[in-house]
Amino acid sequence: MTNILPVLDRASADIPASLERLFELVRIKSISTDPAFKADCRRAAEWLVKELRSLGFDATVRDTPGHPMVVAHHEGAKADAPHVLFYGHYDVQPVDPLNLWDHDPFDPAVREVEGGRRIITGRGTSDDKGQLLTFVEACRAYKETVGALPCRVTILFEGEEESGSPSLKPFLEANAAELTADFALVCDTSMWDADTPAISAGLRGLVGEEIVVKAADRDLHSGYFGGAAANPIHILADVLAGLHDETGRVTLPGFYDGVEETPTQIKAAWEKLGSSAESFLGEIGLSIPSGEKGRSVLELTWARPTAEVNGITGGYTGEGFKTVIAAEASAKVSFRLVGKQDPAKIRDAFRAYVRAKIPADCSVSFHAHGGSPAIQLPYDSALLGKAKDALSDEWPKPAVVIGMGGSIPIVGDFQKMLGMESLLVGFALSDDRIHSPNEKYDLRSFEKGIRSWVRILAALAAR
Amino acid sequence: MTNILPVLDRASADIPASLERLFELVRIKSISTDPAFKADCRRAAEWLVKELRSLGFDATVRDTPGHPMVVAHHEGAKADAPHVLFYGHYDVQPVDPLNLWDHDPFDPAVREVEGGRRIITGRGTSDDKGQLLTFVEACRAYKETVGALPCRVTILFEGEEESGSPSLKPFLEANAAELTADFALVCDTSMWDADTPAISAGLRGLVGEEIVVKAADRDLHSGYFGGAAANPIHILADVLAGLHDETGRVTLPGFYDGVEETPTQIKAAWEKLGSSAESFLGEIGLSIPSGEKGRSVLELTWARPTAEVNGITGGYTGEGFKTVIAAEASAKVSFRLVGKQDPAKIRDAFRAYVRAKIPADCSVSFHAHGGSPAIQLPYDSALLGKAKDALSDEWPKPAVVIGMGGSIPIVGDFQKMLGMESLLVGFALSDDRIHSPNEKYDLRSFEKGIRSWVRILAALAAR
């Protein structure tokens, strides 16, 4: 096994330059959900290709019907080392409401906060630009120190992760041979806490649906028509309020098909992590678990399915008051899936449930936004064991194997389409405010993240 | 009694010039709910003062903490004729969504539509600029023909009717002596149909409330926190869905206190008007009455109270999808009141109902938007009889005495604060799309409206 100490030292010494590169990438407004930023997404992809080429990767921007992919290849020093595919995404979430940001989301900077902690501020610093660069910078440290990478690396960067990855499946299908490796490394997840790295062995799936309820053929004066004309906001409220019963369970018929109870020993391990409802929810100003009764917050967010309304709008929402009955109202609803829940069946069950609540003289339309099943990596995997040891060497506390509430559809696609398992390692923290105003990434996450990949690549190469 | 035929002829001959004046007023963007249009509201008031002065009125713009009032006085020719106060409002509703307008809402024009019918298009043509000018132009016809008005006239034009009239009560109180007349004429209502004038003897009251539900202290990633963190949209949907029971009744405790059943003979008269659910709702693309079961649409909209959600917003509502759990969600809710329902008690009952549904770790804030009780003019009033005859002389069909679903808080204020009853006569039509895109006023409403006021003023003067 290569002596990795010089590589680690080089990674740490390079941090100022690594940060400059991260800043360049964060300044590119690659918001994939908003068509206004289409050109910025391409610019981010082109920036990444340029960087990877400078490291000796055979890197290209690859067009899709949506935002482009970045694909890059690099040989490994050892013939018997595995071939790994590294995945990240260069697109970011929208930044509204902009007035809640303390700093320009696209003007990143390192700032010192309480306790001397240093954070990198800006949209995408944590999700996922800072994370994906930890791997790129680890490769750089290898190249600049030993002139080679310890194993063969293929890189895939996506630009549509925040908008349901519409181009991903066709792209994987069309380029299966080129992209198939021994396994995938995915860096889009969090640490357990600031000292404890985590490997996510379970990932919830996701089904997104937008529904638009239409009633009258125009907005109405609520004085003239109120009490007789259907109000689409009432219909929508009724639909959404009926999604959960009084115990917090989702009411859709068949919703829990394929959901298994978490094994007792797993639940016991999670209990030891000591995340009480108070500490988990206290961080965000809450204290009472809102979902299914009688389950811990870790179980609720890692191992139980949900239905959440992510957005709703209808009628007059400006300043002041307008006594209108709206012609239509709409909501964006997402379901987090676990176990063997079938995204297509969940979508169908939701649509049938909604249709049954729509009066005969009104109508509803549905718009699908992404769908992916849940994923579970076997707890006894060798891959998982090597990564756990490598991470435990870098950080103050040993790595833990946890569940994950969020969805990373790519992991399911890698499994189904390319036959690859994925190792989910990330250095985000729960206070990174991803998807929210004031997103940040700890400077420590960035530096020790880079060093962690140096160690993991060495461990994986040493088979 | 004055021979009014020359006055009527003059009114009709003047229509082209009257229209030019209406266009000038409609071009002023006097949207009272949006602070961006504050200066426009003042311009509308100043325009009206200039017009009234040109007719010999002693007219002034009168400042308030909000948008200004217009007050004008003119003596009458007969000492024994009553003193009337005419009320209208120069402010208009917002115009969004602008993309649904066929023409610029602030560039009015007369357009010929199917059947040779001519309509005046633009925001406020019907509600209420076109209506208030019918009275002003009737005064002009008198002045230009006989050089005098048949009775003493005071005019009050308000600029905050569409935003809950916050300045009105203090203004009436401070100027009670100046504004008190024998009774009020209010022109802000509709015809029964295009051939049948209507006098509205009953008016529903209104309570407006905006509620903001707050949960976590920031927007959350629904993957990380979904299933454990409170979702304010769910709470709001639950609040709003619970406002009505399965029979369409409002569930607030005490909500129906003070609501009396409509007398059988009144209901029978309404039955004769032949407004079936099909025709009433068919005009707006609906067919099924949505409110309390077992009541006609006329009863539902004229004589029954309601709860309506006028607007709702929360979470991500832009293009695409964002898997966020919002920090807050809000709704604008209004109640239409009848009989002796108490606006303050309704507001209190609503707030108590909402508070009881908010989890202990979440919060709610309330913002009041206007409150007025319902009004009922006695069916045997002499005022009502004279106006009914005058209207019946002008239009193809006799005038009918009806109820009104909308609220005109001024009518309650005139009654309570100045001891005046109000005669509600207006020439709007149910297809005028007030508060909606493509508002219009029929040219026939405008011309015969002016002529109707010529007749009504003569009838009132001839006591």
Our CA angle for B323, B329, B332, nearest 5°, is 140
- The reply to whether B21 falls in a domain is yes
Q: How far is CA A83 from CA A37, A277, A279, A436, A457, in A?
A: 34, 41, 40, 36, 10
Cα separation, A167 vs A403, whole angstroms: 27
Q: Residue A378: exposed, middle, or buried by beta-carbon count in 10 A (0-12, 13-18, 19+)? A: exposed
Look at chain A and count its residues. Answer: 463
Q: Are residues B28 and B139 in the same domain?
A: yes
Interface test with A, best of B322, B363, B431 (most A CBs within 10 A): B322
Q: Which of B458, B461, B456 is nearest to B134 (CA)?
A: B456
Token pair listed for B215: 């949960």
Q: How many CB pairs under 8 A join A and B?
A: 356
A366 is in which domain, residue-wise? 205-259+305-372
Q: Which of A209, A204, A210 is nearest to A408 (CA)?
A: A204
Tell me the chain A residues in contact with residue B228 when contact means C-beta distances shorter than 8 Å: 277, 280-281, 289-291, 297, 300-301
Q: Which residues contact B199 (CB under 8 A, 6 or more apart)?
A: B384, B387, B388, B391, B399, B400, B401, B402, B423, B424, B425
Which of A323, A353, A372 delimits the end of a domain? A372
Q: Is the pLDDT of residue B369 over 90?
A: yes
Are B44 and B90 in contact, with CB atoms under 8 Å apart?
Answer: yes
Do A301 and B430 lie within an 8 Å CB cutoff?
Answer: no
Token pair listed for B269: 């008269």
Token pair listed for A141: 């440290």
A165 close to B (CB below 8 A)? no
Q: Are residues A115 and A177 in the same domain?
A: yes
Name residues 415-434 of chain B within 8 A of A (Cβ). Answer: 430, 433-434
- What DSSP line would sit under B267-294, residue for residue? HHHHHHTT--HHHHHHTTT--S--SSTT
ipTM strictly over 0.95? no
Radius of gyration (Cα) for chain B, nearest Å?
Answer: 23
Are B341 and B378 in contact, with CB atoms under 8 Å apart?
Answer: no
Do A306 and B336 lie within an 8 Å CB cutoff?
Answer: no
Q: Which residues contact B192 (CB under 8 A, 6 or more apart)?
A: B198, B273, B400, B402
Classify residue B433 as left (phi > 0), alpha (psi -120 to 50) or beta. Answer: left
Do A284 and B220 lie within an 8 Å CB cutoff?
Answer: yes
> In percent, how much of chain B has pLDDT > 70?
99
Buried b / exposed e over A403-425, threshold 16 CB at 10 Å, is: bbbbbbbbbbbbbebbebbbbbb
pLDDT of residue B268: 81
Tell me the chain A residues in contact with residue B317 when contact means C-beta distances shorter than 8 Å: 311-313, 330, 332
Q: Are residues B30 and B167 in the same domain?
A: yes
CB nearest B321 (choices: A208, A223, A320): A208
- Residue in chain A closest to B34 (alpha carbons) equals A319
Neighbours of A89 (CB within 10 A): 31
* pLDDT tens column, A38-82: 999 999 999 999 999 999 999 999 999 999 999 999 999 988 999
Q: Is the pLDDT of residue B1 over 60?
A: no
The one-letter amino acid at B445: S
Q: Are residues B245 and B171 in the same domain?
A: no
Q: How far is CA A176 from CA A69, A85, A124, in A?
A: 14, 12, 28
Q: Which of A357, A225, A86, A114 is nearest to B237 (CA)?
A: A357
- Residue in chain A closest to B429 (alpha carbons) equals A224
- B37: domain CATH number is 3.40.630.10
Do B306 and A226 lie within an 8 Å CB cutoff?
Answer: yes
Token pair listed for B41: 């509201």
- The reply to whether A277 falls in a domain is no
Q: Are residues B353 and B396 in the same domain?
A: no
B6 close to A (CB below 8 A)? no
CA distance A98 to chain B (A): 12
Are A408 and A400 in contact, with CB atoms under 8 Å apart?
Answer: no
Provide the mean pLDDT of chain B. 93
CB nearest B224 (choices: A277, A301, A370): A301
Do B290 and A228 lie within an 8 Å CB cutoff?
Answer: yes
Which of A372, A395, A412 delimits the end of a domain? A372
* pLDDT tens column, B251-303: 999 999 999 888 787 788 788 787 777 788 998 999 999 989 989 998 999 88
Q: Are residues B365 and B385 in the same domain?
A: no
Name residues 268-287 of chain A within 8 A of B (Cβ). Answer: 277, 280-281, 284-287
Confidence at A443, pLDDT banded by 50, 70, 90? very high
Location of structure tokens 């941090």: A15
- The reply to whether B299 falls in a domain is no
Classify residue A16 as left (phi > 0), alpha (psi -120 to 50) or beta. Answer: alpha
Mean pLDDT, residues A222-240: 94
Interface test with A, best of B188, B284, B429 (most A CBs within 10 A): B284
- Residue in chain B closest to A250 (alpha carbons) equals B227
* pLDDT tens column, B373-411: 888 777 678 898 899 999 999 999 988 888 877 767 788
Q: Are residues A361 and A378 in the same domain?
A: no
pLDDT of residue A2: 63
Weakest mean pLDDT among A340-354, A359-373, B197-211, B373-387: B373-387
| DSSP helix/strand/coil, B100 | helix
Cα separation, A362 vs A215, whole angstroms: 5
Q: Which of B144, B134, B69, B128 is nearest to B93 (CA)?
A: B128
Look at chain B and count its residues. Answer: 463
Cα separation, B199 vs B425, whole angstroms: 5
**Bridge partner residues of A205 (DSSP):** A337
pLDDT of residue B373: 87
Mean pLDDT, residues B225-232: 93
pLDDT of residue B270: 81
* pLDDT tens column, B71-127: 999 999 988 999 999 999 999 999 998 999 999 999 999 999 998 999 999 999 999
CB nearest B405 (choices: A162, A224, A311): A224
Provide the mean pLDDT of chain A. 93
pLDDT of residue B239: 98
Tell me the chain A residues in contact with residue B242 when contact means C-beta distances shorter than 8 Å: 241
Cα separation, B266 vs B345, whole angstroms: 28
B236 close to A (CB below 8 A)? yes
- A246: domain CATH number is 3.30.70.360
What are the start-end ranges of the H helices in A273-402? 277-282, 297-302, 343-357, 382-394
- The reply to whether A270 falls in a domain is no
- The reply to whether A42 falls in a domain is yes
CB nearest B406 (choices: A224, A243, A291): A224
Mean pLDDT, residues A338-356: 96
Do B323 and A310 lie within an 8 Å CB cutoff?
Answer: yes
Classify residue A369 as left (phi > 0), alpha (psi -120 to 50) or beta. Answer: beta
CA distance A176 to chain B (A): 28
The better pLDDT of the pair B2, B368 is held by: B368
CB nearest B312 (choices: A233, A304, A430): A233
pLDDT of residue A1: 55
CA distance B373 to chain A (A): 14
Radius of gyration (Cα) for chain A, nearest Å?
Answer: 23
- What DSSP line would sit under A119-159, residue for residue? EEESTTTTTTHHHHHHHHHHHHHHHHHHSS-SSEEEEEEES
* pLDDT tens column, A195-221: 999 998 888 989 999 999 999 999 998
- The reply to whether A59 falls in a domain is yes
Name residues 379-418 of chain B within 8 A of A (Cβ). Answer: 404-407
pLDDT of residue A164: 86
Q: Which of A249, A241, A353, A235 is nearest to A291 (CA)?
A: A249
Interface test with B, best of A312, A335, A372, A407 (most B CBs within 10 A): A312
Q: Are residues A358 and A453 in the same domain?
A: no
Q: Are residues A230 and A359 in the same domain?
A: yes
* pLDDT tens column, A405-416: 776 778 888 988
Q: How far is CA A260 from CA A278, A303, A305, B44, B226, in A?
A: 26, 9, 11, 67, 18
> In percent, how much of chain A has pLDDT > 70?
99
Which of A331, A349, A372 delimits the end of a domain? A372
The better pLDDT of the pair B310, A321 is held by: B310
Q: Are residues B146 and B29 in the same domain?
A: yes
Do B437 and A218 lie within an 8 Å CB cutoff?
Answer: yes
- The reply to whether B78 falls in a domain is yes
Name residues 308-367 of chain B within 8 A of A (Cβ). Answer: 308-326, 329-332, 334, 336, 359-362
pLDDT of residue B245: 96
Q: Are residues A312 and A210 in the same domain?
A: yes
Cα separation, B112 vs B440, whole angstroms: 12
Q: Are residues B152 and B214 in the same domain?
A: no
Q: Which of B244, B246, B300 is nearest to A222 (CA)?
A: B300
Strands A83-89 and A109-112, sheet pairing: unpaired
Cα separation, B452 vs B447, whole angstroms: 9
Name residues 67-86 of chain B within 8 A of A (Cβ). Answer: none
Total number of domains constituting chain A: 2
* pLDDT tens column, B128-178: 999 999 999 999 999 999 999 999 999 999 999 999 899 999 999 999 999
Q: Which residues contact B376 (CB under 8 A, 6 or more apart)?
A: B201, B202, B203, B339
- The reply to whether B147 falls in a domain is yes
CB nearest A222 (choices: B281, B314, B334): B334
Interface test with A, best of B192, B283, B312 (most A CBs within 10 A): B312
